[in-house]
Structure 1
Amino acid sequence: MAPILEIQGLYKNYGSTEILKDINVSIDAGDFLVLVGPSGCGKSTLLNCIAGLEPISGGTLSIGGQDMTHVSPKDRDIAMVFQSYALYPTMSVAKNITFGMKVRGVDQKTQDAKLKKVAEQLQIDQLLHRRPGQLSGGQRQRVAMGRALVRDPKLFLFDEPLSNLDAKLRVEMRTEIKALHQNLGATMVYVTHDQIEAMTLATKIVVMKGGVVQQIGTPAEIYNRPANMFVADFMGSPAMNLIPAKAVKNGSGNTIEIEDKTGKPIVLKDTSGRDLPNNVVIGVRPEDISEPGARNGKAQQEADFLVDIVEPAGADTYVVTSLGGRQVTARLHAETTAQPGQHQTLAFDMAKVSYFDPDTGLRLN
């Protein structure tokens, strides 16, 4: 079966400036693809190219097995939810949702049935008589989603739909979108700069920087095996610790030496048999630096550190120290006795460590 969306060698230029460079992405029916990256990385431009709102400068784009490279947006069988809601202020909620069907000549009985179903799904059936100006931001976003859902398209496109909402409502709407995806089995492409949204919503993530795809993978692949230091640093909260180190060949493994705050080496052992260069950057998630005995695993290796900062965070406490000239964060349990200015024994889970080339930034294992 052909992918629902297939992008091959896509380029987008504005004059002599390249905005998107050799984009290759494909998703199957039912996938939830999230395009994520910092502001200006090209993710919204790529979404607009998929929608047909931006002409592409090179490459091809197909939807449902049909070439849509130069097809008008109205003929692409897509529905789009914008950041700005884009609702008609003089129309009721019901008319906003059914307006597209009315324009396409859908009969009234079908309009009413789809309106009823979508309104119940989004819990806005009590708001159908109101106008957008009488709604909260979250209610407006539900209406915008409802307008897309009644289309029953091949692709749903979301352009940072939650960025105008407050933190609590963002979490609630994120859960609703996830539930909608699971219940409908729809294929969705979603743009966000929020890596937590990406991790929680996606079945597949595309991480972008400077118009270039950095990595494509499942949330677990992106989180556990980042392709380079940019992905390692961008995906995760707190971010993966990236620590300059020396790797010295030692039998079947390597000895990893990291300078502490005083310039003395912290020595850890890598027994994986990797072939590492002398200069290396080790990547370790905060949760993989814990107190001795807090986690099971033969790869736990202990060392003594001077604590700089202690940050209570409810169920966890973050402890910050300095290694290799970088701030390093450990995620400890809430009842930790760690104190600023005191030494603390911490255990590294060496089975979870990533290694990166300090010159290219690329993953070494």
Structure 2
Amino acid sequence: MPILQIDHLQKAYGDTHILHDINISIDEGDFLVLVGPSGCGKSTLLNCIAGLEPITGGDIEIAGRNVTGVSPKDRDIAMVFQSYALYPTMTVAKNITFGMKVRGVDKATQASKLAEVSRQLQIEPLLHRKPGQLSGGQRQRVAMGRALVRDPKLFLFDEPLSNLDAKLRVSMRTEIKKLHQDLNASIVYVTHDQIEAMTLATKIVVMKGGVIQQIGTPAEIYNRPANMFVADFMGSPAMNLIPARVRSEGGQTRIEIERDGAEPLVITDPVARDLPAQIVLGVRPEDIHEATGNAHLPGTAQGAGGDVMIEIVEPAGADTFAVTHLGGKAVTARLRAESAVRPRAMFPLAFDLSKVSYFSPTDGERLN
């Protein structure tokens, strides 16, 4: 039985439709991340799951129980907010146990739960402090502790790390992932940070304009994006999206990409079939390699690249990013740190054809 089942959910404010026919199902222990740009509806969807927003249509089930119209306190959920939402006059210990006290949980159980979560989150020395005496990361741990003592069916996280600095976000991300693994908790997590989504999720929902663009594992979303929006949004640097022409020749597919001041770059894909005359070729920066003579990497084939003019070289420690122009677009290759690539010079690049995506230029949908 799914721990969360959402069927044909709609949300509108008057004539303004925010969420359109949302269908999601996750199993117990799943870590579902809702990701998308600002204004895509992900926080509204989380609030609908929590019962903080009434829905316009559809159904929400938590652990097999239809909670559509049920008040938030009766949904067996716990929520961690972006703003922490701690009581400033209460100590850390009282903030964590306050919900249990309101629900009439006995003091012995309160003390046991408090000791357990404070040990898990390593906040035992902070229990007698007040929120104003804590750092941002410490406050977030307290907010998580308050949720953990509930032992709910479903945890809801609303951009919990967005107020933290970059270094602290990375360490808190690791803590949240460890908590998920240790507790086998069922989590729905909202973020606009696609790196957060990729590192935390067992399943990702990519949203745009209140519509689900794709649901899948991080590997599925990254390697086989359903459309150009997902391809461009997920990944840093983003997938290269290069306009190209397609010709059939001798039972093989020739893909021609315009080059500034030179003949088109021709890629021969022996397995591509039934592509339209105009496509957009998608390739991740790490799937563009240095072509060294006839020694092509696995997945590349003879004719899968050529010499291009490198415009910008960006050393980045373990990698070197090289930027060229193909099909009128800036194209980034992620090369080895020791690559002998130079700006304003020709350099041989090869595409890993086992990793490329083909998209329709008209509706952006995946073709392969």
TM-score with structure 1 length normalisation?
0.98
Matched residue, 1:299: 300
Matched residue, 1:25: 24
Deviations 1:184-210 (A, max 9, x none): 000000000000000000000000000
Q: 1:363 aligns with which of 350, 359, 366?
A: 366
Matched residue, 1:221: 220
Matched residue, 1:332: 335
Contact 2:297 2:352 in 1 (8 A): no
Q: 1:187 to 1:290 in 2, by over 3 A?
A: same
Matched residue, 1:66: 65
Offset of 1:271 from its aligned partner?
Answer: 1.0
Q: Is 2:348 the partner of 1:345?
A: yes
Alpha-carbon distance between aligned partners in 1 of 2:163 and 2:16, rounded to the nearest angstrom: 30
Aligned-pair identity in percent equals: 73
Alignment of 1:223-238 (within 5 A): 223-238=222-237
Contact 2:31 2:188 in 1 (8 A): yes
Q: 1:265 to 1:18 in 2, by over 3 A?
A: same
Matched residue, 1:167: 166
Contact 2:324 2:330 in 1 (8 A): yes
Residue type matched to 1:299 in 2?
T
Alignment of 1:116-265 (within 5 A): 116-262=115-261, 264-265=263-264
Alpha-carbon distance between aligned partners in 2 of 1:298 and 1:24, rounded to the nearest angstrom: 36
Mean CA deviation greater in 252-261 or 6-15: 252-261
Residue type matched to 1:87 in 2?
L
Offset of 1:298 from its aligned partner?
Answer: 4.6
Alpha-carbon distance between aligned partners in 2 of 1:325 and 1:51, rounded to the nearest angstrom: 46
Residue type matched to 1:130 in 2?
R
Contact 1:252 1:273 in 2 (8 A): no
Q: CA RMSD in A?
A: 1.0
Residue type matched to 2:74 in 1?
D
Contact 1:287 1:331 in 2 (8 A): yes
Structure 2: runs of 5+ lacking an equivalent: none
Alignment of 1:262-341 (within 5 A): 262=261, 264-293=263-292, 296-300=297-301, 301-341=304-344
Alpha-carbon distance between aligned partners in 2 of 1:161 and 1:191, rounded to the nearest angstrom: 8
Alpha-carbon distance between aligned partners in 1 of 2:249 and 2:275, rounded to the nearest angstrom: 11
Alpha-carbon distance between aligned partners in 2 of 1:272 and 1:103, rounded to the nearest angstrom: 64
Offset of 1:296 from its aligned partner?
Answer: 3.0
Alpha-carbon distance between aligned partners in 1 of 2:114 and 2:296, rounded to the nearest angstrom: 51
Offset of 1:251 from its aligned partner?
Answer: 3.1
Deviations 1:223-273 (A, max 9, x none): 000000000000000000000000111233300000012252000011114
Residue type matched to 1:351 in 2?
S
Partner SS state of residue 29, structure 1: coil
Alpha-carbon distance between aligned partners in 1 of 2:296 and 2:266, rounded to the nearest angstrom: 20
Partner SS state of residue 19, structure 1: strand
Q: 1:89 to 1:355 in 2, by over 3 A?
A: same
Residue type matched to 1:317 in 2?
T
Contact 1:288 1:349 in 2 (8 A): yes
Contact 1:202 1:219 in 2 (8 A): yes
Partner SS state of residue 2, structure 2: coil
Deviations 1:124-156 (A, max 9, x none): 011000000000000000000000000000000
Alpha-carbon distance between aligned partners in 2 of 1:273 and 1:310, rounded to the nearest angstrom: 32
Alpha-carbon distance between aligned partners in 2 of 1:256 and 1:332, rounded to the nearest angstrom: 23
Structure 1: runs of 5+ lacking an equivalent: none
Contact 2:266 2:305 in 1 (8 A): no
Alpha-carbon distance between aligned partners in 1 of 2:111 and 2:250, rounded to the nearest angstrom: 73
Alpha-carbon distance between aligned partners in 2 of 1:92 and 1:359, rounded to the nearest angstrom: 58
Alpha-carbon distance between aligned partners in 2 of 1:124 and 1:28, rounded to the nearest angstrom: 30
Deviations 1:146-196 (A, max 9, x none): 000000000000000000000000000000000000000000000000000
Partner SS state of residue 317, structure 1: strand
Alpha-carbon distance between aligned partners in 2 of 1:103 and 1:323, rounded to the nearest angstrom: 63
Residue type matched to 1:17 in 2?
T
Partner SS state of residue 102, structure 1: helix
Moved >4 Å (runs of 4+): none
Contact 1:214 1:227 in 2 (8 A): yes
Contact 1:316 1:333 in 2 (8 A): yes
Alpha-carbon distance between aligned partners in 2 of 1:145 and 1:120, rounded to the nearest angstrom: 13
- Would you say how many aligned residue pairs link Structure 1 and Structure 2? 364
